[in-house]
């Protein structure tokens, strides 16, 4: 078998170029015409067969191995954020959007992995499917691509994806973080309309005050995490928006509340969804009001497959020293739509440290000065290649 690390180090400059090219054309959400065209162009140049226009601007590439076997999918997200870049980099974006979460590097690293996998495809025992998806930052690109059949024909049997940056600050330069279970939270949203009966502010007894009800609802919702959820199950209920009323002296008809709920497992998540309604219903009706409620189950929790992850760690040891493979202890409450693929097939989502204090690369994700240490790109690609090759070989 070929030397994966050496092959990837040799094309490090290609990966950097792709990343910088992509960095200058950031697009957001589901609308990624330029980014998708760029990726398709590179895949064509590499001679890799691919389908464009999957659920919008999604791309599915396929590298057929020389030997019969299973199919593993490698995933990168392509979308940027509506943030005005302030890095001062020579290749900084000037179009008002910014790759402030590193998806430009994900796409570039997957192209790097694809180049080497394609070069050695005759040796592969099975196929590698490449998924380039839009809208990870919202409204979600994984689910539409799966719904459009991205994981079929050939059917994906496992999946692998990575995230660069500083999501887990405990990772030191050059390290990767792995986790054997629930590593990121669900990303759910809810809307509540607390309905009262408007009246003159000086005559509260002639109406039903939705503001007073809302106060009780806000307070009681915080008891879901503190009283209803098992203390060892991480969970968050946040109200981010709260609007109602138009005049200081008029009791309004209703108050609108919007929030997000996070949990690491589906059971907790479903409990939160029903507890919110139960509290809202009890308080609003007990106080002579009423309510409307909708809970949107968004990205599910990201759940890595323990067996798959163990195998992946063995592959990683071939790329980097064992002490640089770090087991993440505490999950993050952030969400990731990689979760949908991991719901379908076993796989893992790992984290590549992209910060570098010596180089002044310290800004957090979604910051207008966010950057990554480009020197780690080869490693991200190599880990995907080694992980894919080994898994196909062992299955």
For other proteins, give the closer residue by CB, 25 or 217.
217
The CA-based dihedral angle spanning residues 351, 352, 357, 359, taken in that order and rounded to the nearest 10 degrees: -150
Q: Output the smallest distance, CB 356 to other proteins, in A.
A: 23
Rg (C-alpha) for the chain, rounded Å, is 24
For other proteins, give the closer residue by CB, 103 or 262.
262
Q: What residues contact 170, with CB distance under 8 A and at least 6 apart?
A: 177, 326, 328, 329
Query: Any catalytic annotation for residue 136?
Result: yes
Q: Output the smallest distance, CB 130 to other proteins, in A.
A: 30
Closest to 98 (Cα-Cα) out of 41, 26, 9: 26
Query: Any catalytic annotation for residue 265?
Result: no
Q: Output the smallest distance, CB 228 to other proteins, in A.
A: 16
From 14, 79, 290, 390, active-site residue: 79
Q: Output the smallest distance, CB 248 to other proteins, in A.
A: 4
From 7, 14, 77, 136, active-site residue: 136
Closest to 338 (Cα-Cα) out of 161, 187, 108, 168: 161
CA distance 209 to 313: 58
Under the rule (CB under 8 A), what is the footprint of other proteins? Answer: 185, 187, 189-191, 200-204, 209, 211-212, 214-219, 222, 236, 238-252, 255, 258-260, 262, 332-335
The 8-class DSSP code of residue 84 comes to -
For other proteins, give the closer residue by CB, 209 or 290.
209
Burial group, residue 32, by CB count within 10 angstroms (0-12, 13-18, 19+): buried
Closest to 16 (Cα-Cα) out of 75, 104, 95: 104
Q: Output the smallest distance, CB 294 to other proteins, in A.
A: 12
For other proteins, give the closer residue by CB, 255 or 382.
255
Q: Output the smallest distance, CB 191 to other proteins, in A.
A: 8
Provide the token pair at 328.
């993440």
The 8-class DSSP code of residue 335 comes to -
CA distance 258 to 387: 41
CA distance 35 to 57: 9
Residue owning tokens 């997000």:
260
Map residue 228 onto helix, strand or coil: helix
For other proteins, give the closer residue by CB, 154 or 215.
215
For other proteins, give the closer residue by CB, 24 or 189.
189
For other proteins, give the closer residue by CB, 255 or 383.
255
Dihedral sign computed on CA atoms, order 387, 388, 394, 395: positive
CA distance 390 to 386: 6
Map residue 295 onto helix, strand or coil: strand
For residues 340 and 297, the answer to whether their CB atoms sit within 8 Å is no
Q: Output the smallest distance, CB 77 to other proteins, in A.
A: 18
Provide the token pair at 45.
């140049």
CA distance 57 to 78: 10
Annotated active-site positions, please? 79, 136
């Amino acid at each position: 078998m070929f030397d994966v690390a050496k092959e990837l180090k040799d094309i490090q400059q290609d990966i950097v170029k792709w990343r910088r090219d992509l960095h200058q054309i950031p697009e957001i959400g589901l609308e990624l015409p330029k980014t998708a065209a760029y990726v398709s162009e590179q895949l064509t140049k590499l001679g890799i067969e691919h389908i464009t226009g999957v659920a919008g601007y999604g791309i599915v590439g396929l590298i057929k191995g020389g030997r019969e076997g299973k199919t593993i999918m490698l995933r990168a997200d392509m979308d940027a954020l509506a943030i005005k870049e302030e890095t001062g980099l020579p290749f900084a974006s000037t179009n008002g959007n910014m790759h402030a979460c590193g998806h430009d590097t994900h796409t570039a690293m997957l192209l790097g992995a694809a180049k080497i996998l394609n070069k050695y495809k005759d040796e592969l025992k099975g196929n590698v499917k490449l998924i380039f998806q839009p809208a990870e930052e919202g409204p979600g690109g994984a689910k539409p691509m799966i719904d459009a059949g991205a994981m079929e024909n050939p059917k994906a049997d496992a999946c692998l994806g990575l995230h660069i940056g500083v999501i887990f600050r405990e990772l030191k330069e050059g390290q990767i973080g792995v986790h054997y279970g629930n590593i990121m939270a669900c990303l759910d949203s809810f809307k509540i309309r607390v309905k009262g009966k408007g009246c003159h502010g000086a005559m509260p007894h002639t109406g039903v005050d939705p503001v007073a009800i809302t106060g009780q609802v806000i307070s009681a919702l915080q008891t879901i995490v503190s009283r209803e959820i098992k203390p060892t199950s991480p969970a968050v209920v946040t109200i981010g928006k709260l609007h109602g009323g138009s005049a200081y002296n008029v009791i309004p008809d209703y108050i609108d509340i919007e929030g997000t709920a996070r949990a690491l497992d589906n059971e907790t998540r479903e409990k939160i969804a029903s507890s919110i309604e139960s509290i809202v219903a009890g308080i609003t009706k007990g106080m002579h009001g009423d309510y409307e409620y909708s809970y949107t189950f968004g990205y599910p929790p990201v759940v890595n497959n323990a067996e798959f992850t163990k195998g992946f760690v063995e592959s990683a040891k071939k790329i980097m020293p064992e002490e640089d493979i770090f087991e993440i202890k505490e999950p993050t409450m952030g969400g990731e739509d990689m979760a949908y693929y991991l719901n379908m097939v076993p796989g893992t989502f790992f984290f590549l440290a992209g910060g570098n204090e010596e180089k002044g690369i310290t800004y957090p994700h979604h910051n207008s000065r966010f950057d990554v240490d480009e020197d780690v790109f080869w490693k991200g690609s190599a880990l995907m290649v080694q992980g894919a090759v080994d898994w196909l070989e062992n299955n």
